[in-house]
Chains A and B, each alone.
Chain A
Amino acid sequence: MATVITVTSGKGGVGKTTSSAAIGTGLAMRGHKTVIIDFDVGLRNLDLIMGCERRVVFDFVNVINGEANLSQALIKDKRIDNLFIFPTSQTRDKDALTMQGVEKVLTDLASQGFEYIVCDSPAGIEHGAITALYFADEAVIVTNPEVSSVRDSDRILGILASKSRRAVRGEAPVKEHLLITRFSPTRVERGEMLGIKDVQDILAIPLMGVIPESMAVLKASNTGTPVILDEQSEAGQAYKDAVGRFLGEQRPLRFLEMPKKGLFQKIFKVAAS
């Protein structure tokens, strides 16, 4: 049985594609056969983040329309075994993803032995996003500690609870995971940013991980390497922890403390003021 994991947020720019790439890669690194699907029809970007943009021949919409088969469209990752990328189309026809078409693709992927199907949802609550939500077994809600992102995440949780396939069919509800990204301990300390507990109090779903704001994320996207492969970076390690928690492991949260200032720096600060 394949598990469909939808990575979603409502708001744009919070790190859905970065997170989809990292989580999918992390699951494959743990030995699970995984495919990451780009649901953002018209604005293809997962291929760039995964560094396979020059290998795209056929896409999601080609497969749905029967113009190519799955094995022609799936791109096998060159770094990690068990990892495949399924790029989306750049067509401007937003309704190209039909419910029946997507359902057939997901069923076919499951029968090819994929354990995890990670769906990188587009922003917003239009057709593509709703389609990605509909098929979710589990959902990763990517949230920045910021008012508009938290509000949009709450809205998405409402849609999951009423419009997902599991909700419509009266099955067990979609399992929700909160992933807080772009977190800055320094700004929380100064009272400028919502803390982990604040966001958790409001959204009230289990926390899968906290990814600190990190230079490594931009660097990773520049080079087309999922940031989880940057083992030196805090963001990479935080994503690894998050994948571990997703798989049911207990791991303490890391990188939530402000970097400690030495006495020397404190004295320097006083001298400067």
Chain B
Amino acid sequence: MSFLDLFRRRRDDSAAVAKERLQLILAHERAGREDPDFLPRLQKDLLGVISRYVPIQDDRLNVSVQRSGHAAVLEINIELPPRG
């Protein structure tokens, strides 16, 4: 141990990692907080209906609400499987 180490602070900085992770996840969770409660159920029902006609994977259907000012738009994205 050198003499200078007496004045140097050791930082492992896992706290910085904690802060970064929290900021990311909370930004995501705060955005979702505004969504109406029914979105997950709507997504499940839509999946059920669509898969009666086309085979589709669960993660290929995305339901979200976009807000701007007083207007809200329900956005539904469905990605169909490649034709083959």
Contacts and interface: CB of A to CB of B under 8 A. Distances in A.
Interface stretch (A99-107, A116-124, A188-196, A215-223): A188-196
B33 A191 contact: no
A49 interface: no
B5 to A, nearest CB: 8
B39 to A, nearest CB: 16
Given A198-B19, A273-B1, A151 B14 contact: no
A192 B19 CA distance: 11
Interface string A226-248: 00000000000000000000000
Nearest to A159: B33
A190 B29 contact: no
B30 to A, nearest CB: 7
A194 B19 contact: yes
Contacts, number: 50
Interface string B1-35: 10000100111111110110111011001100100
A6 to B, nearest CB: 20
B19 A202 contact: yes
A202 B15 contact: no
Contacts of B30: 154, 158
A1 interface: no
Name the prevailing secondary structure of the A interface residues.
Answer: helix
B27 to A, nearest CB: 10
- By size class, the interface of chain A is 20 to 34
Name which of A155, A190, A266 has the most chain B CB atoms within 10 A of its CB.
A190
A270 B1 contact: yes
Name which of A191, A192, A266 has the most chain B CB atoms within 10 A of its CB.
A191
Contacts of A266: 6
A147 interface: yes
A147 B12 contact: no
Given A198-B15, A202-B22, 17 more contacts: A146-B18, A147-B21, A151-B26, A154-B30, A188-B15, A190-B9, A190-B10, A190-B11, A190-B12, A191-B12, A191-B13, A192-B14, A192-B15, A198-B19, A202-B23, A270-B6, A273-B1
* Shortest Cβ-Cβ A-B pairs, 9 listed: A191-B11, A191-B13, A198-B19, A158-B33, A191-B12, A191-B15, A147-B18, A194-B15, A154-B26
